[in-house]
């Protein structure tokens, strides 16, 4: 990278179009010769790997990592969100969420946070947005499963009788709910039905969702979910909306809006591929590559931006591209 590049050059690629998400372990992230690199120690020699920061959205730093001040300065200049997490993308120190380090000096629009706050303090309006989020979640799953030939090859079909009934029942419960709490239980039931379907398709025996179980399916679900949280956190940061202004997971839960937004894509992409990759005994790296490939293929980050912007602006006025 030319040392003469300025911060505005590094942000030339819209965040919604950036191709890369990194999860790193046991390495040192550093600046060298005007580039951001990560250093891994080998038996015979150390190896340097370039990070194309102008085309990167999120970097998750797992166990055994360190980050130099010079590298963080360049990452901030490129608008790259950095998250500190535990092994496999799990929460840092068994906390409730990834700890995010966001570039505070970055210019961001104010129209989206103003629009979000214009409805957020009214419970009935938060409920409307929460319902719309869940409808979008259903629509994205149907669209993704319908279009993905690889998923169909693995026998995941959105027109399967169990899937159709589960989605239809959930949609009805959403439309009639008077409080968010009324369809939180329905959301949990939908997820259980999707797990059941995935277990039947992949023939994984005796699966129970347990974040600390240590089996491949649970580990891949954990890891994939935190990749989705990275996309959600990045979208919210770029739009200038604080993570605490949730519409579904609770006003008092720190960072809860990240979970609300990530839910839009988790069932469609992370869930099926976690089970497929577990059944095939893939490695964590192979699963991660599959997840990131599918996020890109199905324009997951574009979708998150569009949904959050749509509800922030409310009236349908289009904001600037980000």
**Beta carbons within 8 Å of 230's beta carbon, 6+ residues apart:** 21, 57, 58, 60, 81, 83, 98
Tell me if 279 sits within 8 A of 265, measured CB to CB: no
Which region among 44-53, 85-94, 144-153, 301-310 has the lowest average model confidence (pLDDT)? 85-94
Top CATH class of 111-313 equals: mainly alpha
CATH for 7-101 is 3.100.10.20
Tell me if 227 sits within 8 A of 292, measured CB to CB: yes
Looking at residue 128, its pLDDT comes to 92
Residue 289: what are its φ and ψ, rounded to 5°?
A: -60, -40
Is pLDDT of 31 > 70?
A: yes
Domain ranges of the chain: 7-101, 111-313
Is pLDDT of 204 > 60?
A: yes
Per-residue tokens: 15:
């965040």
Looking at residue 2, its pLDDT comes to 42
Quote the CA–CA distance of 313 and 317 in Å, as a whole number: 6
**b/e for 77-89, b at 16 or more Cβ within 10 A?**
bbbbbbbbbbebb
Dump pLDDT digits (tens) for 90-140: 554 434 455 666 555 555 678 899 999 999 999 899 999 999 999 999 999
Averaged pLDDT, 38-44: 84
CA 286, distance to chain mean position in Å, is: 18
Residue 48: what are its φ and ψ, rounded to 5°?
A: -105, 135
C-alpha distances (whole Å) from 104 to each of 60, 108, 261, 305 are 18, 10, 22, 20
Instruction: Give bridge partners of residue 61 from the DSSP assignment.
Output: 24, 84
Averaged pLDDT, 304-319: 75
Averaged pLDDT, 14-20: 77
C-alpha distances (whole Å) from 124 to each of 118, 120, 136, 177 are 12, 9, 19, 11
Indicate the pLDDT class of residue 82, thresholds 50, 70 and 90: confident
Looking at residue 5, its pLDDT comes to 44
Is pLDDT of 15 > 50?
A: yes
Indicate the pLDDT class of residue 11, thresholds 50, 70 and 90: low
Looking at residue 13, its pLDDT comes to 74
Quote the CA–CA distance of 197 and 175 in Å, as a whole number: 24
CA 12, distance to chain mean position in Å, is: 22
Dump pLDDT digits (tens) for 225-251: 988 988 898 889 888 898 889 998 765
Dump pLDDT digits (tens) for 251-270: 545 678 989 999 999 999 99
Averaged pLDDT, 73-78: 87
């Amino acid at each position: 990278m030319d040392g003469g590049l300025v911060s505005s050059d590094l942000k030339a690629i819209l965040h919604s179009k950036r191709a890369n998400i990194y999860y790193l372990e046991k390495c040192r992230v550093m600046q060298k010769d005007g580039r951001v690199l990560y250093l891994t120690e080998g038996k015979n020699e150390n190896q340097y790997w370039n990070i194309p920061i102008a085309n990167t959205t999120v970097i998750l730093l797992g166990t055994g990592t360190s980050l130099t001040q010079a590298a963080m300065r360049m990452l901030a200049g490129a608008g790259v969100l950095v998250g500190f997490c535990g092994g496999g993308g799990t929460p840092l120190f068994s906390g409730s969420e990834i700890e995010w380090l966001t570039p505070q000096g970055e210019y961001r629009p104010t129209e989206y946070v103003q629009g979000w706050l214009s409805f957020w303090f009214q419970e009935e309006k938060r409920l409307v947005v929460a319902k719309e989020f869940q409808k979008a979640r259903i629509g994205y799953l149907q669209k993704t499963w319908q279009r993905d030939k690889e998923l169909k090859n693995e026998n995941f079909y959105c027109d399967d009788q169990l899937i159709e009934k589960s989605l239809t029942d959930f949609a009805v419960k959403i439309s009639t709910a008077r409080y968010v709490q009324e369809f939180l239980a329905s959301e949990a039931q939908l997820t259980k039905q999707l797990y059941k379907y995935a277990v039947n398709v992949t023939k994984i025996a005796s699966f129970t969702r347990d974040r600390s179980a240590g089996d491949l399916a649970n580990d891949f679900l954990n890891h994939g979910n935190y990749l989705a949280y990275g996309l959600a956190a990045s979208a919210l940061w770029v739009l200038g909306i604080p993570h605490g202004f949730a519409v579904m997971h609770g006003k008092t839960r720190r960072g809860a809006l990240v979970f609300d937004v990530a839910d839009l894509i988790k069932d469609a992409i992370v869930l099926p591929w976690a089970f497929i990759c577990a059944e095939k005994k893939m490695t964590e790296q192979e699963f991660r590559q599959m997840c990131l490939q599918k996020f890109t293929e199905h324009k997951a980050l574009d979708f998150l931006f569009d949904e959050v912007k749509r509800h922030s602006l409310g009236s349908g006025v289009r904001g600037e591209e980000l």
